[in-house]
Amino acid sequence: MFKTTEIWPVLTAIVFILSASYTVPAQSSLFSVPTSDVVGKNQIYLEADFDAHLTGLRKGGWQSYGLFGVYGISRKAEVGLNGYFARTSSGVEPLELQPNFKLQVYNSESKGIAVATGAVAYIPLTKRFVRDGVVSVYAVASKKFKGPWTPRVTGGTYQLISTKSGLGSKRGFLAGLEQPIHRRLTFVADWNTGKNRFGYAAAGFGLVLTKRSSLWTAYYFGNEGRANNSLGIYYGYNF
């Protein structure tokens, strides 16, 4: 079984990596689905990520660690750079960098509608024979219904671009829901369709800790079966 003693050092590291100081600035993504938001101009969002398939490594479990960073280059555009690696029964998996870009092409606060498009490159830096590089290009639109406790829904599509085969589904749909429960607590769910490494449905909560920091947790349901299910915990800080 997965040992809880393996989780607590990670949680402690997440808290102290970006030690925190009621509304948090715009999110760049839900869990695995991009939002139509962009980070404000000259603002920085950093996040420490931990994901795990909750079983022993020898029984197919895994743990993923990462840092997620986004910088607002204008009122309508952001750039980011993420880095991730995972532990499995085979040892440390490829270290992967994920440069990304997002452009908000439309935003009407009076209508509650926003549209954005962007791209994320997934570039393995080590063990490149294990994992191929791929680029995901996407477009999303969101609708925020009027009222203080009303939801925002997001929908869109994505296309994977790669020179190699074996990725699984190369295109699919994106869907998301954000439902405020309290001024500090929001229920979040999203779904990335397709049978590929990105194919998950997720549900969880976002908790605003301070004006600048937040904590997110989600459970992921793999589109290809329970062997891909996982728990995610994320701590974010806005500068």
How do residues 38-81 score in pLDDT, each as one tens digit? 999 999 999 999 999 988 888 888 999 999 999 999 999 999 99
Q: How far apart are CA 151 and CA 137, in angstroms?
A: 26
**Could you report the per-residue pLDDT of 173-223, keeping only the tens digit for each?**
999 999 999 989 999 999 999 999 899 999 999 999 999 999 999 999 999
For residue 129, pLDDT over 60 is answered with no
**H or E element: which one contains 46?**
strand 44-53
Domain segments of the chain as ranges: 4-238
**What pLDDT score was predicted for residue 162?**
85
- List the single range of 4-8, 11-15, 150-154, 203-207 with lowest mean pLDDT: 11-15
Question: Comparing C-alpha atoms, which of 31, 119, 29, 114 is closest to residue 76?
Answer: 114
pTM above 0.75, yes or no: yes
Domain 4-238 has CATH 3.30.1360.40: no
Q: How confident is the model at residue 20 (pLDDT cuts 50, 70, 90)?
A: very low
